[in-house]
Structure 1
């Protein structure tokens, strides 16, 4: 194949193509991974880095774990290094910046011209790298992208043999359809891990003619309580705040109680958020609400005041 510096290449490939070592260190090229380069005009996307990580493996490896999640453009926290998998341990190679795993399953598909772990197996792989809440955020996003359904995920995790299967099964049990954003997942998990009944996701309310009048992120329709995450759009988009106030007036007129939650109510003061939700659910008589909040949420939301 002709040498194309717009895609990742190894040092020896460039030298064989007539590019000097001095030129590789110059402004025409940039380092992707140790020993791997690309033209300086190429943007270092997750796909470019994944291709660079695969170069030493001559087609026997595939992109997996965090690198695969980044290629799929899924929401995960920052995780160091690129990650690839090979079918047996003897095929692993030592390369700085790349972690090689043994993936005997070889459950893969092609995405954007790169071989990557298929979605169900990727969820299990990530169960060994993520916290419970981050794993459910990932699962909800994968369902939203129609990579699999919640039931397909539960069934797959029930039969797979993998070192992270216990964490995968627990996370899969919390994955839901119709979740609009990672922050909605985090809010739902905060509520559930505190021992409160699980709210319904994305309830659609219709009028007597069947017309949709409103939707609620998280709700308890039995007692007409809705808990919603309000992002920065309510502040930054002109007119959004006014429309939100009009919507709240309509909700109040229908007997619903709306509990808005912002980012700091999840990351900074989650206990205050839980107390608000708990008090309203108790006051409205929702069955199954405990008299006292549980403590399991504290391990998953370390930004709370008690962490200090």
Structure 2
């Protein structure tokens, strides 16, 4: 292949790439770069900061590369100095080690600041709601403990209200992700993970599983529909009055591998979410969530301290659910472990 053919092929590839990029903007948005909630806005600022700091490094490096290739090219009459014995420069060492250290320090500071700022929802007069999420093969089940209703493959929330998602899985591990509202959180069998999100305004937001789970993974999508508080309450009331109930047998059918359409249920078996966790070996994971009287704190979610429900720092390296004998478990050791 000659030089002319290579040049022509390169121009064609570049045109295809540019065309694909432009056409992609006709049908969809770059969801991660379209924040619609306080969590997404904070993460967006981190993305922009990271891009700027990367550009501070990448652009000068590429410019220096071009300069060096041109200045020190092998060409008759090139007057570039030839110094074969040069092997060290304290000034250059300080520059190419100092700049990355400064960049990492800046990124680390703002990342830690944003992480701690997002432990709890911002101060608001709106009462938070709780939604329990269970990932299945290959569908999503959403339970509303306060409204006592459930949905499949879609979830409605009040706009401007913090939503505490409690996440688990009754199938292989997955990842719950609503790009325009915030980052993803894993759903794991035997675990109750936590993720709070909020939509600033009414709208329909794309949600998806972000962890490969087999044949139907590509279809594990759901809609997050944010509505004004009054419309959300009217919707919940309508579901309560008109939709069928989700029975134990109905849930077992949902757990079977396969795709499902959107569904709504006026009720579901009490304690279903916790039963799913316990079934997958996670009973001890909820022990620390009991109140001082020893009863499960499942009824009043609005009074729960979300900072106590953050499991992201827990050490699970020694927890093999398949081999653990719960009857011989030392609960005092578990309490000490969970308090870390």
Q: TM tier, shorter chain?
A: under 0.3
Q: RCO greater where, 1 or 2, for CA within 8 Å and sep 6 or more? A: 2
Flag the structure with larger Rg: 2
